[in-house]
Amino acid sequence: MESSLISGKTKVCGIIGDPIEHTMSPAMHNAAFRKLGIDYLYVSFRVRKEELDKAVDGMRALNIRGLNVTIPHKVAIIPYLDELDPLAEKIGAVNTIVNDDSVLRGYNTDASGFLQALLEKGVEPKGKNMVILGAGGASRAISFILAERGSNLVILNRTLDRAKECAGRITKIFQREAKALRLNGENLVNALEKADVLVNTTSVGMSPDIDETPVPSKLLKTGLVVFDIVYNPIKTRLLRETEKTGTQTISGLDMLVWQGVLSFEKWTGMKVPVEVMREEAIKVLQNHEN
Ligand code: ATR
């Protein structure tokens, strides 16, 4: 059933961030609403840092059903929420809000979307050796959910202190040892020796710098699963070079789509076919390229 009529009963969802023009979420969610024929609409709102409190008041006053939260609000939003999912609280960042009669609950579907993308490809991270490149916000969501799931973690970052901070928090919160190393050739060689999965959370290789890679191809070995959370381009140089080893690759597009699917389920209580959102996201990315 396809329907795109807006009515007096239409439930509104959206995304807040700044800048917001390039978000793919409206296309993905509206395609899913249409596919399921449900009376929902998803729009983007540019919200400046200093007006975040007013945006949250507005969400309550206008009875907006759900919001995604993106840069620069993922951490700053937390004090305005009434309830927090335990993992989002540990991560210290929220990308999804559900509004139930003005009670706002925060979740982190970046983390759960990452995990789902791994599981979908048949990779169970429990007990596996995971090498994480980067120690920013995305790395934190990913490394925390992996720690919770029981992975062994090595975090490499250009700025060693940030890797140490991330690893230190993991040890404290999850009582799991996590190693922190500076991101350089020698440390990469050592870390990758015993690695099962490599996750790139840095922006290296992102458009327009599509000829860059965070890992020299000679270090990629057969059997090492590589997950690059960069989704533009869908196939980064790192993933292209990994494919040549005949090993499994996972694109940031999968994480993007799964975080969308999981947010959607929280707002609507309905399952959306993953392929609907994936196709829509690919369309938007192709339009960006043209
Ligand atoms: P996000 O929320 O997407 O994780 P972020 O917090 O800005 O964004 O983090 C970006 C990550 O990419 C950081 O780990 C950053 O390393 P530093 O902490 O040293 O800045 C990493 N990064 C960005 N450009 C990089 C580059 N050219 N080489 C290596 N790492 C890079």
User: Sorting pLDDT into bands at 50, 70 and 90, what band is 4?
Assistant: low
The residue contributing the CA closest to ligand 1 atom 16 is 158
Q: What is the pLDDT of residues 208-235, one digit of tens each?
A: 999 999 999 999 998 999 999 999 999 9
The residue contributing the CA closest to ligand 1 atom 12 is 202
Ligand 1 atom nearest to CA at 135: 14
Which residues have CB under 6 Å of ligand 1?
134-139, 157-159, 162, 183, 201-204
Catalytically active residues are 74
For residue 203, report the distance from its CA to the centre of ligand 1, in Å. Answer: 6
Strands (E), the chain: 11-17, 40-46, 66-69, 83-84, 96-100, 103-107, 129-133, 152-157, 178-182, 197-200, 225-228, 249-251
User: Sorting pLDDT into bands at 50, 70 and 90, what band is 26?
Assistant: very high
C-alpha distances (whole Å) from 167 to each of 140, 172, 226 are 9, 9, 21
The residue contributing the CA closest to ligand 1 atom 9 is 136
Q: What is the mean pLDDT of residues 158-170?
A: 97
Residue 290 has pLDDT above 70, yes or no: no
- What mean pLDDT is reported for the chain? 96
- Which residue did the predictor score with more confidence, 177 or 134? 134
Q: What is the pLDDT of residues 172-196, one digit of tens each?
A: 999 998 999 999 999 999 999 999 9
C-alpha distances (whole Å) from 253 to each of 6, 59, 274 are 29, 28, 11
Enter the pTM of the model: 0.95
